Structure 1
């Protein structure tokens, strides 16, 4: 089961069916074991799975009383976020094709930690799953200005946050974690 951005009435019906879900934040190109781990916990908790991608190139302009979110782009490249969501959705469809857990894909907009937190509140989620960030200078700069999504989620809401390593681990004797 998948959807893109549902309208308010559809979203309310879907949210009712997705109560107590496990939410997993996914980015294009992220290792598949982040989604696998979220699926494992959804099975353990007998919960639906919500795969989310947050389009950081858009921001929330206002929210209707019925919950529908209106957004605007930060820049004129409108296709970037849509293309990323399509990649995430396609990867989720392939990975979850034969699973026995109900799931859906959603695209959120704005700040990743705040968008995931708000969705978790709407769904009364049992667990939020995110991957660690990629190593590299660009990611280090982004995290310096915005902070870690996992850390911000852990400090700004009451649900458990599972942080799944992306892959390559740093040796214990390496002092600087982000050498790139």
Structure 2
């Protein structure tokens, strides 16, 4: 029987707290951590036998189909964190709607759970989330497996949020 799998959604500029927390779960479950980056500006044209994804932009004027490649900074940062935690780690670069893609990959790989980071609190982010919903919100409404949302900013119950100050 193989190790359980934990899927974590990663981005280039996210807090290291997301991968740190995913690693906590991976260690507790003796699981492999699968770091998945989803390019929301592109869609999958082809998935090759080796797992390489060929993606094209939604905007026809934005260019041609290309092989999706994981940002080396993500691989370096997450790889170092996993090595320090003595945890197996894999990387997958793909394209499409992040919530649907993370859910599909978790289903295909029979993941134990999905870990994502919460959005940073901002007035603009709240407006975007209202109209487009966050990846975390979409996952929690469309998944049959557990979804862990990692807070990326500590905000106490008495702290003002950016949209509170806009009133």
Distance change (3 Å), C-alpha of 1:137 and 1:177: closer
1:135/1:178 contact within 8 Å kept: no
**RMSD, aligned CA:** 3.3
Aligned residues: 162
1:91 aligned onto 2:77? yes
Q: 1:24 aligns with which of 8, 26, 41?
A: 8
In the aligned structure 2, how far is the partner of 1:117 from the partner of 1:36? 21
Cα deviation for residue 107 of structure 1 reads 1.1
- In 2, the alpha carbon distance for the partners of 1:31 and 1:178 equals 23
CA–CA distance in 2 between the matches of 1:89 and 1:138? 29
Aligned equivalents of 2:98, 2:19: Cα separation in 1: 17
Q: Which runs of 5+ in 2 are unaligned?
A: none
**What's the TM-score, normalizing by structure 1?**
0.74
Deviation per residue, 1:10-50 (Å, 9 max, x gap): xxxxxx96x63011111122111211110110111111111
Alignment of 1:69-88 (within 5 A): 70-75=54-59, 76=62, 85-88=71-74
- For residue 72 of structure 2, give the secondary structure of its aligned residue in structure 1: helix
Equivalences for residues 60-139 of structure 1 within 5 A: 60-61=44-45, 70-75=54-59, 76=62, 85-139=71-125
Q: CA, structure 1 residues 94+69, in 2 after alignment: closer, same or farther (shift >3 Å)?
A: closer
Mind listing any 5+ residue stretches in structure 1 that lack a counterpart? 1-15
Shift of 1:62: 6.0
- Residue of structure 2 aligned with 1:50, choices 29, 34, 41: 34
Deviations 1:89-140 (A, max 9, x none): 2221222233322111111211110010010011100011111002224423
